[in-house]
Chains A and B, each alone.
Chain A
């Protein structure tokens, strides 16, 4: 830095100091900008993508447990015919919240955890493009999850007689199914459970959209020199495609939910059949989001598997460009197949035929990916590590789910399978056998990078065995149950339908699966605190994240790497194209400052969501509380814009291994 600049800088310093005193966070809300890097204040105000990723992962695992308990309750109720363990209404609430929780609070945030932790590392960036927006996404997600799940407390309060005794509808937790078909979710048929569901999903939508904008900008704009698009790790590519899917698919459901909300709160007629509202409109709006959502769930898992297979086959990914383009084509086609969820609504011959064909077509890029993964394995020196076992399980189970998917693409066959347990089997093979196995593979693969400790491998193999076995015992019989006519979402069934045996088997399988997943979580929690330490690159990784020290320093890369090849770290270790680093530019590493305001927005959203549901229940002044909550969000965003990115300088350590703090040299002391 030239001395002239330093002078200008110094003169400006006083102005800034004055401005800081006038800054709204001090005078308005009494919130000084946090600069602590330890303790809970650091965690709730952090802008570090790695910490945010860890928190996303923690919340996701929590909700996996909650969603899993809901699933086990469903299976317990169905284990024997004419069971009266839980009421029909509670059963409805369990399957609604199971689906909603697993999709929006389990799989999506766990994917987001990987996006957050890995994407900046994989592209050689020091953080995401908008660090505070990233924090905002996290707390907004937590707020939405809170609003959805707090409904259980209201259900409990209602059951014991503390709340809402005068209400017409007694469902305090959502009960309309995860796709919430209107007018079933209108105010005629469901109570404030649906309000919690509507507002909770809208808040989650805000979180997903904000995160997606952030990741797209990060991936497009912040790649290290030489990291061209066709050198991007496939996981990052799939993050990009997923983010685009989110920004184009979520508006449809957000508007559908807003319309339903207006119907429920303000008496509009979007889905009010007596005044001309069309139930099919909801189905279209929901599924034009809902089908891309399926790919939003599965593409990150595909990206994870695409990272793991080459690592443990000791081969580059077979047909990298084809894998990438297949992912993109899946993303495009994902928007053109939604009506296959609605074949039985009577769309007309042309529409049905078109959507049938497009649905079959989407199997092509998916099949291409599977063949490419096989090609990667072919002739490789395969090491059956735990992540590898999960990845192979992913390919196998996802393929089975894909096969039944192709069966559904045929409209006449689909008409028979619609709303039967066959469909339940299909999407659990795709989402559990596919997505969850992929995510578990990712956990076993990257937890050593995240925490610097190896997950217990023996427990890992047990987990893999229990999860894959339990999963198949649970869901394979459902194909049979469905084809023999067992309807989906039935609360109970008669004993002479021939479904008794397989339902019992499925319930037993569900518990095996549950034990397997629990084992995995115990393993993770144990590892985080007591696990065996490992070095920075325990697997012999291929991509840039393995080139960083473990645990990864706040600035990720002391010097920005210059990438010269695909799989650059592999080539760096075993080939001739070494990773080089940008020269030190002399003014240290610019780090973004922490902020309170994303957290304030999260609180605002949570308050808004609960108040909206209370408004639905007729609680006095709840409407004003909702306005106050939303105002807090707007205030938070406004003040956050006002406070600016801020920042401070870190001097990277000059000696390897010495993570030495930089004691403000003369050139910086003036600041």
Chain B
């Protein structure tokens, strides 16, 4: 047998390969990429047709009508944005290929970096989307009303806007202020909350814009939702999360504890974190009570405004009829003996901020009634054929994007190490073919899976 000579170096190999003119005039590796993409069309074709067949058979994603709220699931704005990003990444990819052909390696690096970033944004969008679809984040239509006749209607994912659907004048009276721009900033399941296993703890965040030009104030709360007994789930604990700015009314301490117990009982499946928080609060209650008297005796007048903070907090914590009515009657001039203990945590500033908020924004606003208009369980592989086809199809696409990002990232690194030079422009072109294909597939998926629902 002939003996082997030492290995050839890259340059000579390149010349040799350049000498081998192919019959078609297309480089071997480019041709095989086209063939792979032809085959990949069939992969995605099969996945997309599976989805469409089931979509047509079960317009609501499940044999039982209405099992999946498809438009409720989709966040069309986010996905449109992702799609746009992916399209733009293709544009950058084309520029990167063109730069490499011209030998402008620095431009190639810049554009490729852009493609990678855009690809990562797309992937991040998909991860976000999957997470929220899975947890049923977007699957709830909520109707939240206040005791003052304000009604919150929303079906957006993270942001429930307050709409004044009651008589404005009456509402004004109820609030005692002209402040209607209240916004529920977020309404998300607490850490570890499992929508499949109620009761579920949600965290919310409410913003109170200030009419006098101060910065808007934010306060936080917790809502324990029990779908098996919607009545029992109407417990709202304000300012619990982040770490409790413990503000309690001394005389109502026993009641407070009772309602806490109720809350706890209602939230049998609550996370450890929230249970712990409650326990802490209970344990601190006696100490607070004794401290309360001293503080109130000495600083009754100066802390008048602060009392209202506590008042509101208390009401929302224990939204029984009595408390609510009492609260509605409250005015700024009334002072009740109460106390507060600064939370011994790093979130002391937050506590202070919440207190400050209530000092001058006692609008009688309470989140004392959360009514569920529609419940659709979180979307996962198991709940419906819609979920099965959706996740497997978009997941396959996401995997393609991830591989593309890894590929381009490798090219970027090797362009710095000197492995990838303008002589390898065809390699970049092949990666570009792949990237464009993945983009085109997404256009099809976006159209036939997402957009079609909005026609």
Q: Do A and B bind each other?
A: yes
Chain A residues with a Cβ under 8 A of chain B: 5, 8-9, 12-13, 15-16, 19-20, 35, 37-38, 129-130, 209, 212-214, 216-217, 220-223, 247-252, 254-256, 258-259, 262-263, 266-270, 275-278, 281, 285, 554, 585, 587-588, 590-591, 593, 638, 644-651, 659-664, 668, 671
Q: Is the CB of B31 within 8 A of A276?
A: no
Q: Is the CB of B381 within 8 A of A267?
A: yes
A660 to chain B, nearest CB (A): 8
A347 to chain B, nearest CB (A): 14
Bound complex: CA of A585 vs CA of B36, how far in Å? 33
Q: Is the CB of B388 within 8 A of A248?
A: no
Residues of B near A20 (CB, < 8 A) are 7
Q: Is the CB of B2 within 8 A of A662?
A: yes
Verify if B23 is at the interface (C-beta below 8 Å from A).
yes
Known: A221-B23, A662-B2, A668-B5. A647 touches B382 (CB 8 A): no
Bound complex: CA of A217 vs CA of B11, how far in Å? 24
Chain B residues with a Cβ under 8 A of chain A: 1-13, 15-16, 19, 22-24, 26, 28, 31-32, 35-36, 38-40, 42-43, 45-47, 50, 53-54, 57-58, 62-63, 381-382, 384-385, 387-389, 391-392, 410, 419
Contact of B1 among A12, A19, A217, A554 (CB under 8 A): A554
Q: Is the CB of B385 within 8 A of A275?
A: yes
A646 to chain B, nearest CB (A): 6
Residues of B near A554 (CB, < 8 A) are 1-2
Residues of A near B13 (CB, < 8 A) are 590, 644-645, 647
Residues of B near A275 (CB, < 8 A) are 62-63, 382, 384-385
Residues of A near B40 (CB, < 8 A) are 251
Residues of B near A262 (CB, < 8 A) are 381, 388, 392
Q: Is the CB of B42 within 8 A of A276?
A: no
Bound complex: CA of A35 vs CA of B8, how far in Å? 13
Contact of A255 among B32, B46, B57, B410 (CB under 8 A): B46
Residues of B near A212 (CB, < 8 A) are 35
Contact of A221 among B22, B47, B384 (CB under 8 A): B22
Residues of A near B57 (CB, < 8 A) are 276, 278
Q: Provide the main secondary structure of the chain B interface.
A: helix
Bound complex: CA of A227 vs CA of B40, how far in Å? 30
Name which residue of chain B comes closest to A243, CB basis.
B35
Known: A646-B7, A671-B6. A269 touches B22 (CB 8 A): no
Residues of B near A252 (CB, < 8 A) are 42, 46
Contact of B7 among A249, A251, A266, A648 (CB under 8 A): A648
A536 to chain B, nearest CB (A): 18
Name which residue of chain A comes closest to B395, CB basis.
A262
Bound complex: CA of A37 vs CA of B3, how far in Å? 9
Subset of 24 A-B contacts with CB under 8 Å: A12-B11, A16-B7, A16-B9, A16-B10, A129-B28, A213-B35, A220-B23, A221-B31, A251-B45, A252-B42, A254-B43, A262-B381, A262-B392, A268-B387, A276-B384, A277-B385, A554-B1, A587-B16, A588-B5, A644-B13, A646-B8, A648-B4, A648-B6, A659-B2
Task: From B2, B23, B43, B387, name the one whose CB has the most chain A CB atoms within 10 angstroms.
Answer: B2
Task: From B26, B384, B388, B389, name the one whose CB has the most chain A CB atoms within 10 angstroms.
Answer: B388
A428 to chain B, nearest CB (A): 29
Bound complex: CA of A588 vs CA of B5, how far in Å? 10
Known: A269-B384, A270-B385, A644-B10. A281 touches B53 (CB 8 A): yes
A378 to chain B, nearest CB (A): 34
The 4 closest A-B pairs by CB, nearest first: A251-B42, A268-B388, A221-B22, A255-B46
Residues of B near A129 (CB, < 8 A) are 28, 32
Known: A8-B11, A269-B385, A554-B2. A256 touches B23 (CB 8 A): no
Sample of 15 further A-B pairs with CB below 8 A, known A16-B10, A662-B2, A664-B6: A8-B11, A12-B9, A213-B39, A216-B31, A220-B23, A221-B22, A248-B38, A259-B50, A267-B382, A268-B388, A278-B54, A649-B8, A650-B5, A659-B1, A671-B12
Name which residue of chain B comes closest to A9, CB basis.
B12
Q: Is the CB of A268 within 8 A of B7?
A: no
Name which residue of chain B comes closest to A15, CB basis.
B9
Contact of B385 among A38, A276, A285 (CB under 8 A): A276
Q: Is the CB of B42 within 8 A of A248?
A: yes
